[in-house]
A and B are shown apart, each in its own frame.
Chain A
Amino acid sequence: MALTPHQIVVLAVAIEIALLGIAAVVEFSCRKKRPPSASQPAGPAPGRPDIAQTAAGRGGPLSAGTPSATDAQPEKLPLGAAGTAPTSPAPETRARAEAQPPARAASSAAPNGTQPAPAGGPIRETADSAPTADAGSLRARRIFHGVGKTRAKLLAVITGVLGRPGAPLAETCEQLEEALIAADVGVAAAAKLVGQVKQRLAPGATPEQVRQALKEAMVRILQATARPPADPGEAPLVVLVAGVNGVGKTTSVAKLAAKFKAERGPVVVAAADTFRAAAIDQLAVWCRRAEVELIRQQQGADPAAVAFDAVQAARSRGAKTVIIDTAGRLHTRTNLMEELKKIARVVGREIAGAPHERWLVVDATTGQNAISQAAVFTGALELSGVILAKLDSSARGGVIIAIADQLGLPVRFVGLGEGLEDLQEFDPAEFCEALLAEERAQGEQVEALRPAAA
């Protein structure tokens, strides 16, 4: 329906009101002598002066004048950097100085990798002591432990409520809905699931029947999104990994690299997170551990250029897979989403259909915002899947059901720890089984698995 002229005026005015309000707030919040932004929206990272530039802009006098800065620099920096930092405000110099990987940091981090990554209680102990353990049983156990709390809650509901003679189905369903909401499934998806369960149940359903019905309903939603893995043909498979800040992209990329290396052959990783401080160093440590090649430029470089280099390198070296690690970006940052599109475009010009896989890393501890993340990222990149990271936490990961339900995005992998091998292919049935498995039976199962694993 077309807008009437009146509505357009209203629209324009509303926008302008917002802008003026914003202007006042911006004015207020910028009062603290921030230099006027000179960044133009045409650059590789529009409107996002990197840390180096920010520092350089406020610059010289600030860092040179304080005793604290001089305190830090002599012992911290390579000579060249210590010399240039306070005196030269040129962003490039700064960026390069910062990006120089001090050999010390890298080499000292390396032995860390040989230590068994601690964390996570008994699961991890067995995992570390038994690297040869059957992958399937390990995975089941880990997922089981990962979602333990949720399961316990659901179970309490199912057995508790249905165990009570004559508990009305409606009451049961309401409680089930709550339990699902507590698992971050979300109000809408929970209602839908419970609605489906309700339909399938006779008034006198047993707890086991409810459990089955709920599991089937969840599996149905998750399985409906399944799609075959991308086929790159002769060209290397290009995987683009994206996500908001702090979800575990870099760690997931490392795990993926190790996995693809074992399954498909040589892997090239692109350090396209050129924004976050030391992100490249972090990825470099991981790539050394996984023994895969890393293509990098200095901090502040155009991420699309790094991705381009990586694709070229993969081609010339006959690598089978390219994995592109990107900077964390909140989905609300329009310009950064454009940057992401650019990476995909540039890679797509080199290899038709690339990036063949576009995966969003979602933190299992995230709530309903993950849906918004997935919606915006898929709007920009046409995602082909989700990696659910940090499922070894106490978090519930239920939001993936909402994501699958609302956006049709399949979960491809789950992250279950901080080790290179802690990435497992996602299996809807297994996930739901673990989510709903009866506590005691599964506990026995875990006990039974232990000798086999050891």
Chain B
Amino acid sequence: MFEILAERLEGVFKKLGGQGRITERSIEQALREVRLALLEADVNLDVVAQFIAGLKAKLKGQQLLRSLTPEQQILGMVGEELRAVLGGEARELDLKFRPPVRLLLVGLQGSGKTTTAAKLARWLKVERGRSPLLVSTDVRRPAAIEQLRVLAQAAGVAALDSRSDQDPVEIASRALARADAAGHDVVIFDTAGRLQIDRELMEEAQRLKAAASPNHILLVADAMTGQEAAGVGRGFNERLGLSGLILTKLESDARGGAALSMRLVTGVPILFAGVGEKLEALEVFHPDRLASRILGMGDVMTLVEKARQNYDSAAARQAQRKLRKDDFTVRDFADQLRALRKMGPIADLLAMVPGFKKIAPAADPAEAERELARIQAIIDSMTAQERANHLILNGRRRQRIAAGSGTSVQEVNRFVKQFEQTRKLMKKMAQAGPIARRFGLGV
């Protein structure tokens, strides 16, 4: 688990030569590494200090287990603590209020409020059977109202007709009247982006709060935010009293330390995560996933996000089926390869596969890329019949393929052999049950 941190901690204990014994000094050193890992993940400096202090207190009182190595124990505790701080179990947005339930979305410019408002409306409608009304009170950003209107239409939910020459507070009052009249049981208010230090706009937000008397005020925050995340969370919480956080752009490769900062500073739960541009791309937030990610193992999740963006789920299902039935062909292999290469450079992908570095530390990514290109060429030089059944590949065919792909017969042989091995291995894995569960992906 937590590869980056794990490596670091291993380094510490190796350096100390402490044969698995934890001393005061080794704890200090290990905590230093934890601290650096958190800082590199953009967790706020003060938040890190607070986190480390808590961890230290726990480590000191801990009876050490002989069965585990020190780094394993420390890692385990770091993970535990991180999950606890991030909020343990996933938390559901509480909707048990007298309808219409009113949600106010606030945040900095560009954090993704408008998109999130539409996603949330869609989620409430599709997943919770609600009838939401979307209301834009953003009279500042050009075409923000129009943007929400278009998104509402795409999501198939209602939007209030507001205009940029109207007063946000007045729009809010009108929205509540409309919700009553039209029977909407949730009203989602999108607001203009504002800096938490902008007095004028924060006062406007307070007026909006008074007018809409929201059941929830949700801070929409960009997962890529840096150190200032703590200041942003604190500022909005002090002025408006937040009840939850929504983290956006989590499909990026950001480590998401901002989430930890905001969560610790505000004390409110992270409820949702935005994971893509489509309206469906809103998920209930899972603290454990982010905990791993912050510490450098969430790369698996990133890989999954990448795959989801570039991968055809129907094709994936088919490949799995075929594997189980043992008719996985070179053609299927080629399809997988193509899907894989769409996801980015092989080197990046391999770096995300947990434990790969350990299995093949010397693998040169550039060479791997070339090797894959060769394999691609070999496959491309096969006939459709050969791709459907690699068993018919006799010497003559192999010679032809080698000539066609600019490789040698040896290379073709090697590919065929590897394909068979891979196929066997994959079959075993496919039969072992839902693979995702083995990765702890919460399926």
Check if A72 is an interface residue, CB within 8 A of chain B: yes
Interface pair B306/A21, CB less than 8 Å apart: no
CA distance A314 to B156 in the complex (A): 40
A-chain residues with CB within 8 Å of residue B110 when the two chains form the complex = 245-248, 363, 390
**CB-contact partner of B342 in A331, A335, A399, under 8 A:** A335
Mark out the residues of chain B between 97 and 128 whose CB falls within 8 Å of any chain A CB in the assembled complex: 108-112, 125-126
Interface pair B131/A67, CB less than 8 Å apart: yes
Given the interface pairs A247-B110, A278-B147, A396-B228, the reply to whether A21 lies near B153 with Cβ below 8 Å is no
Check if A281 is an interface residue, CB within 8 A of chain B: yes
A-chain residues with CB within 8 Å of residue B309 when the two chains form the complex = 47, 332-333, 335
A-chain residues with CB within 8 Å of residue B248 when the two chains form the complex = 246
A-chain residues with CB within 8 Å of residue B249 when the two chains form the complex = 244-246, 330
A-chain residues with CB within 8 Å of residue B194 when the two chains form the complex = 119
Mark out the residues of chain B between 138 and 161 whose CB falls within 8 Å of any chain A CB in the assembled complex: 139-147, 149-159, 161
**CB-contact partner of B426 in A13, A363, A372, A392, under 8 A:** A13
Interface pair A121/B443, CB less than 8 Å apart: no
Check if B316 is an interface residue, CB within 8 A of chain A: yes
B-chain residues with CB within 8 Å of residue A34 when the two chains form the complex = 280, 313
A97 to B, closest residue via Cβ: B153
Comparing A22-30, A229-237, A405-413, A432-440, the segment that makes contact with chain B is: A22-30
Number of B residues, CB within 8 Å of A? 131
Interface pair A29/B200, CB less than 8 Å apart: no
Given the interface pairs A47-B310, A187-B40, A281-B143, the reply to whether A10 lies near B360 with Cβ below 8 Å is yes
Check if B435 is an interface residue, CB within 8 A of chain A: yes
Check if B198 is an interface residue, CB within 8 A of chain A: yes
Interface pair A11/B360, CB less than 8 Å apart: yes
**Cβ proximity bits A322-348 to B, threshold 8 Å, 1 near / 0 not:** 000000001111110000000000000
Interface pair B164/A334, CB less than 8 Å apart: no
**CB-contact partner of B146 in A186, A278, A368, A396, under 8 A:** A278
B-chain residues with CB within 8 Å of residue A14 when the two chains form the complex = 350, 353, 356, 359-360
A105 to B, closest residue via Cβ: B146
Mark out the residues of chain A between 2 and 30 whose CB falls within 8 Å of any chain B CB in the assembled complex: 2-3, 5, 7-30
Q: Closest CB-CB distance, B99 to chain A, in whole Å?
A: 14
B-chain residues with CB within 8 Å of residue A72 when the two chains form the complex = 152-153, 157-159
CA distance A149 to B46 in the complex (A): 14
Check if A1 is an interface residue, CB within 8 A of chain B: yes
Mark out the residues of chain A between 358 and 380 whose CB falls within 8 Å of any chain B CB in the assembled complex: 363, 365-370, 372
Check if A51 is an interface residue, CB within 8 A of chain B: yes
Given the interface pairs A285-B142, A394-B231, the reply to whether A119 lies near B226 with Cβ below 8 Å is no
**CB-contact partner of B363 in A11, A182, A284, under 8 A:** A11
CA distance A11 to B367 in the complex (A): 12
CA distance A80 to B2 in the complex (A): 55
Check if A111 is an interface residue, CB within 8 A of chain B: yes
Interface pair A68/B133, CB less than 8 Å apart: yes
Interface pair A1/B364, CB less than 8 Å apart: yes
Interface pair B340/A98, CB less than 8 Å apart: no
B182 to A, closest residue via Cβ: A71
Q: Closest CB-CB distance, A16 to chain B, in whole Å?
A: 5
Check if B303 is an interface residue, CB within 8 A of chain A: yes
Check if B68 is an interface residue, CB within 8 A of chain A: no
**CB-contact partner of B226 in A7, A9, A26, A399, under 8 A:** A399
A37 to B, closest residue via Cβ: B312
Check if B305 is an interface residue, CB within 8 A of chain A: yes
**CB-contact partner of A20 in B142, B196, B435, under 8 A:** B435
Mark out the residues of chain A between 215 and 270 whose CB falls within 8 Å of any chain B CB in the assembled complex: 244-248
Check if A282 is an interface residue, CB within 8 A of chain B: yes
Given the interface pairs A24-B443, A335-B342, the reply to whether A75 lies near B161 with Cβ below 8 Å is yes
CA distance A113 to B143 in the complex (A): 12
A-chain residues with CB within 8 Å of residue B300 when the two chains form the complex = 18, 21
Interface pair A19/B339, CB less than 8 Å apart: yes
Given the interface pairs A62-B156, A368-B40, the reply to whether A120 lies near B195 with Cβ below 8 Å is yes
A-chain residues with CB within 8 Å of residue B149 when the two chains form the complex = 76, 278
CA distance A12 to B151 in the complex (A): 41
B165 to A, closest residue via Cβ: A108
Interface centre among B164, B305, B349, B417 (most CB of A within 10 A): B164
**Cβ proximity bits B355-377 to A, threshold 8 Å, 1 near / 0 not:** 01001101110011001000000
CA distance A279 to B141 in the complex (A): 11
B-chain residues with CB within 8 Å of residue A248 when the two chains form the complex = 109-110
CA distance A105 to B143 in the complex (A): 7
Supply 25 A–B pairs (Cβ within 8 Å), ascending by A. Answer: A11-B363, A14-B359, A15-B350, A20-B430, A27-B320, A28-B436, A48-B277, A54-B278, A72-B152, A102-B146, A105-B163, A112-B140, A112-B164, A120-B195, A181-B227, A184-B227, A184-B228, A186-B40, A282-B147, A332-B251, A334-B306, A334-B343, A368-B42, A390-B108, A390-B110
| Closest CB pairs A-B (n = 7) | A367-B226, A246-B110, A23-B316, A367-B42, A285-B142, A278-B147, A281-B143
Interface residues of A (CB under 8 A from B): 1-3, 5, 7-30, 32, 34, 36-37, 41, 47-49, 51-52, 54-55, 58, 62-63, 66-69, 71-73, 75-77, 85, 98, 101-102, 104-105, 108-109, 111-113, 117-121, 149, 178, 181-184, 186-187, 244-248, 275-279, 281-282, 284-286, 330-335, 363, 365-370, 372, 390, 392-396, 399, 418
